[in-house]
Structure 1
């Protein structure tokens, strides 16, 4: 629609999740029309994020260090592990201030249509964390949609062989929704009302 580099910018912005063609066009024109917009600072931050941010070697959360702040916090309860799909879900749960245990980020959910099976997720790492007997409860906090439910069902069946209490977040979360969009009250109530799986 536009010529050359402007269209390239709109196309690149449109590849970001949640940014459609119109939003990409608005962002591109904001960058072009705002004189005090510091493009070099934005580029520097993007480059720095790619270089410095990695995934926690223990839980898979994002971190600038080898382990994330939650895994390094001695006040967290090591007997509780909350399993989530993505690092952004950790932030959503932390906002509720209801959970004081540790996390395990799977890196997605089982989705055969997208070619994602259990082997593509961090399930092996979860089982290694559970092997030492420290954990007494695993809370399955996957999204309340088809993929999240399939992942929770798979994990609950896998974990029944261990002597660990397995719970799932209670109702209150909308089916088909994402944890990151749930408000703190709804997510907090879902946490309080979690139930045993199986």
Structure 2
């Protein structure tokens, strides 16, 4: 049950995220749908490529595609003044998509009996891959590479699931909520990983 619920939550959240960024960049309606769908399914496609699962399996998720299209349509029809608040609540959708897909991606890899590091990679790619593709198509620096702590939370989810600490549906939902909360906190309080800047002489 957790698999289907988290897949639906992640699909809706990332479809909305992609659609809003497309409208921020003044894409036409085709571009809005395209970016929304790519954001919702891009991470899963990249994950499948790396762990040896046919990418064509994505086309079997008819219900998820319907959820994504409905979500994008609703966002496109939203009043302009509400969409203008993206900076206030848009990161919330991104956090939900990240955590839902990170947990879902880790579960997917565990079902294939992949090793711990593969489960962690699957969680990170599923959770952040769609966002990376979205930002690149929108001509932006990927959020995962420049912003507050982002993919680390996905890796944490993958690690906890891979070592069999969390498998029960209830605890999976708790983990989903925790990762969402940590991502929102890291954005709110500007938590960042150490970095270095090289200045050219």
> Considering the TM-score relative to the shorter chain, is it more than 0.5?
no
| Structure exhibiting the larger radius of gyration computed from Cα positions | 1
Greater helix percent: which structure?
2
Instruction: Provide TM-score, normalisation by structure 2.
Output: 0.31
Q: TM-score, normalised by structure 1?
A: 0.31
